[in-house]
Amino acid sequence: MDQPSEAPLSEPQIEIPSLKSLFIEAYFDDQLLGSTTGFLLTRSMDTPCVLLTNRHVVTGRHQVTGKPLDKKHGAVPNAIVIHFHKEGTALREWKQIRLPLYRNTSEPYWIEHPRLGADADVVALNLSWGSDVARIPYYLDGDLDRKQMVLSPAEPVSVIGFPFGLASHARFPIWATGFLAQDLTFMSPERPKFFIDCRSRQGQSGSPVIAFRVQGARTMREGRPVASLDPNPTWEFLGIYSGRVNEESDIGIVWHVSVLGELFDAAIADNAARQAAAATAAGQPDVPQGQQAERAST
């Protein structure tokens, strides 16, 4: 896992959230099973990145029924291909990285939520890559992606991904905007997800969900919500999109950002433990956390 660099300044006509969503393809060997979305996550500019997507993406099975999502052959993926922005190309070129989903021991590479386990439709993958891959993550800490906005039902939210494998241009995502469909105060640690009303479709699983504002937003000040104007676009990172409640509804499920922090910490801890075990097996000192991490492809 490599540490992220400071989020690059995008060209004026490209909003930064458009740079953060990543196009992902799922494969069984050389057979393409479908496409979806993911994104990088970190705590700060001093911590490594992990890749986030949905659990049903890497298992290839319906999150509730467990049935294969590939209705034609019943195949499940054993690898994914991620389309990263390529560093040093004004973020207009992409580099494809293929990652296996299982180790030689058949153990999955992905990390599930430490408390909710398989019930949470979100996983993390520890990655290490070369300097030619741009790292443009969502930040859990600080105010780069989390302005602490006050949000109410019926306010607009955006799911930024690749419906049906489509892109707005090249590998830039499509913004599907709907509405917050509940009070966020109804969430709990045991149920850290919420509903949105959005015409999202297949391929948008794993997309980041944000509240994007171009004319200011409400934030808390001295215990009270206060509206403020800002000439610059601002957004609140809310979580990861997981899919619709059923095929006949536009009500979608979002796993809240609060659950992603626990998953990120678990992925970092898993990586550190594997580094220590590998160093001990090789008779070498432990590798400090945050330095060259185990490649997911080894």
The rounded distance, in Å, linking the Cα atoms of 32 and 181 is 34
What is the reported pLDDT for 294?
38
Q: Are residues 243 and 168 in the same domain?
A: yes
Tell whether 145 is covered by a domain. no
> Given a cut of 50, is residue 289 above it in pLDDT?
no
**179-217 per-position pLDDT tens digit:** 999 999 999 988 999 999 999 988 999 999 999 998 766
In a domain, 77, yes or no: yes
Q: Give me the number of domains the chain comprises.
A: 2
Q: Is residue 35 part of a domain?
A: yes
Residues 243 and 276 placed together within one structural domain of the fold: no
DSSP string for residues in 273-286: HHHHHHHHHTT-PP
Are 157 and 92 a contacting pair, CB within 8 Å? no
Residues 134 and 270 in one domain: yes
**Residue 137: closest CA among 278, 40, 271, 269:** 40
292 has a pLDDT exceeding 50:
no
Question: Is there a domain that residue 34 lies in?
Answer: yes
Same domain, 27 and 128: yes
In a domain, 201, yes or no: yes
The verdict on 20 and 134 lying in the same domain is: yes
User: In a 3-state reduction of DSSP, which class is residue 280?
Assistant: helix
Residue 56, domain CATH: 2.40.10
> Do 132 and 264 reside in the same domain of the chain?
yes
Residue 147 inside a domain? The answer is no
Residues 56, 87 within the same domain: yes
Q: What is the per-residue pLDDT across 146-183, written as a single tens digit (0 to 9) for each?
A: 988 889 999 999 999 999 999 999 999 999 999 999 99
- The reply to whether 123 and 163 lie within a common domain is no
Do 273 and 226 belong to one domain?
A: no
Same domain membership, residue 116 and residue 43? yes
Within its chain, how far is the Cα of 229 from the centroid? Answer: 29
Please tell me whether residues 131 and 265 are part of one structural domain: yes
Q: Is residue 162 part of a domain?
A: yes
Residues 6+ apart with CB under 8 A from 293: 1, 2, 48, 126, 127, 128, 271, 275
The rounded radius of gyration (Å) of the Cα atoms in the chain is 19
In a domain, 291, yes or no: no
Helix, strand counts (H, E) of the chain: 3, 16
Same domain, 251 and 263: no
Give kind and range of the element (H or E) at residue 237.
strand 234-244
Question: Any residues with CB less than 8 A from the CB of 228 and at least 6 apart, and which?
Answer: 216, 217, 218, 219
SS3 for 35?
Answer: strand
Strands 138-139 and 31-42: parallel
Domain residues for the domain of 37 are 16-139+258-281
- 3-state DSSP assignment of residue 32: strand
In this predicted model, what pLDDT tens digit does every residue of 83-108 receive, in sequence order? 999 988 778 899 999 999 999 989 99
Count the neighbouring beta carbons within 10 Å of the beta carbon of residue 159: 29
**Closest Cα partner for 229 from 215, 218, 219?**
215
Nearest-angstrom CA–CA distance, 292 and 286:
11
